[in-house]
């Protein structure tokens, strides 16, 4: 099976799962924008997804993508360290052409994973999981807006989420164009285009997330004044 036993195949798995996760982030971001304007609009989205079969199926699909991405990351890193040999260079130097993020994707990925656990605890655990398991929680599981208010009222969570977004930004600043390169949609000209598209796209995406966090933390979102 070439997706397991060839170096390019393994990278194809990383690329395809990575691109799918970026698409999910885009979808996630669009839903969150609703919470900026109206609490009821956001809660309608939450009720629509809730713990319905399609949302559970989607979550399982996402979990599968994320697990593949992470498991392959560890396999690739282990293989790459072995390929480098036992003896390390005494002196190393990085050319400016080599981005810092590209050489630290695993570390960035681990930071993102830790943030993901926090995020799942803050929201998924109180919403979909609470509904599925029938656990009673402080708010109605479908009242997503209340969970947003609760979480971001805490400055520690808000700052942790902002740090998390920075890690995702660095991870994707390399990850996006790298995925295109691995899938072969790149060349001397398209390499630069993908890099630019990736940076702009990721900056907009993370910028919107960061803006939303600040608006809930500092309470300047229009939905806050209407909810109070």
Partner 1 sequence: MDTNISFTLKVWRQKGPNEKGHFDTFEMKDIPGDTSFLEMLDILNEQLIEDGKEPFVFDHDCREGICGMCSLYINGHPHGPAQGATTCQLYMRRFHDGDVITVEPWRSAAFPVIRDCMVDRSAFDKIIAAGGYTSVRTGQAQDANAILIPKDAADEAMDCATCIGCGACVAACKNGSAMLFVSSKVSQLALLPQGRPEAAKRAKAMVMKMEELGFGNCTNTRACEAECPKNESIANIARLNREFIKAKLAD
Q: Which residues in this chain contact partner 1 in the complex, by CB under 8 A?
A: 2, 5-12, 76, 79-80, 82-95, 97-99, 102-103, 105, 174, 177-178, 181-188, 191
Q: How far is the CB of 106 from partner 1 (least distance, A)?
A: 9
13's enclosing H/E stretch is helix 7-37
Q: How far is the CB of 145 from partner 1 (least distance, A)?
A: 40
The answer to whether residues 148 and 35 touch, using CB atoms and an 8 Å cutoff, is: yes
* Residue 197 CB partners (closer than 8 Å, separation 6+): 176, 177
Q: Which is nearer to partner 1, 5 or 225 (CB)?
A: 5
The answer to whether residues 128 and 51 touch, using CB atoms and an 8 Å cutoff, is: yes
Q: Which is nearer to partner 1, 80 or 226 (CB)?
A: 80
Q: How far is the CB of 130 from partner 1 (least distance, A)?
A: 39
User: What is the DSSP code string of 50-110?
Assistant: TT-HHHHHHHHHHHHHHHHHHHHHHHHHHHHHHHH-SPPPSS----TTS-HHHH-HHHHHH
The answer to whether residues 165 and 206 touch, using CB atoms and an 8 Å cutoff, is: yes
Q: Which is nearer to partner 1, 122 or 195 (CB)?
A: 195
Q: Which is nearer to partner 1, 90 or 156 (CB)?
A: 90
Q: How far is the CB of 14 from partner 1 (least distance, A)?
A: 9
Q: Which is nearer to partner 1, 16 or 31 (CB)?
A: 16
Q: How far is the CB of 62 from partner 1 (least distance, A)?
A: 24
């Amino acid at each position: 099976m070439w997706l397991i036993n060839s170096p390019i195949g393994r990278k194809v798995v990383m690329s395809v799962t990575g691109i799918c996760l970026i698409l999910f982030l885009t979808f996630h971001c669009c839903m969150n924008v609703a919470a900026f304007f109206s609490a009821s609009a956001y809660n309608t989205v939450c009720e629509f997804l809730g713990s319905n079969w399609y949302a559970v199926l989607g979550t399982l699909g996402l979990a599968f993508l994320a697990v593949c991405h992470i498991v392959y990351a560890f396999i690739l890193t282990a293989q790459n360290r072995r390929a480098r040999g036992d003896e390390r260079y005494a002196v190393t130097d990085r050319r400016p052409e080599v981005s810092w993020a590209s050489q630290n994707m695993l570390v960035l990925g681990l930071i993102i994973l830790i943030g993901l656990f926090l995020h799942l605890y803050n929201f998924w655990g109180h919403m979909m999981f609470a509904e599925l398991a029938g656990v009673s929680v402080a708010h109605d599981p479908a009242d997503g807006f209340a969970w947003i208010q609760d979480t971001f009222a805490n400055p520690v969570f808000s700052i942790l989420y902002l740090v998390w977004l920075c890690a995702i930004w660095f991870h994707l600043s390399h990850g996006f164009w790298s995925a295109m390169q691995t899938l072969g949609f790149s060349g001397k000209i398209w390499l630069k285009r993908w890099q630019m598209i990736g940076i702009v796209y990721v900056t907009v995406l993370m910028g919107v997330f960061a803006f939303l966090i600040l608006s809930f933390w500092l309470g300047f979102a229009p939905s806050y004044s209407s909810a109070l």
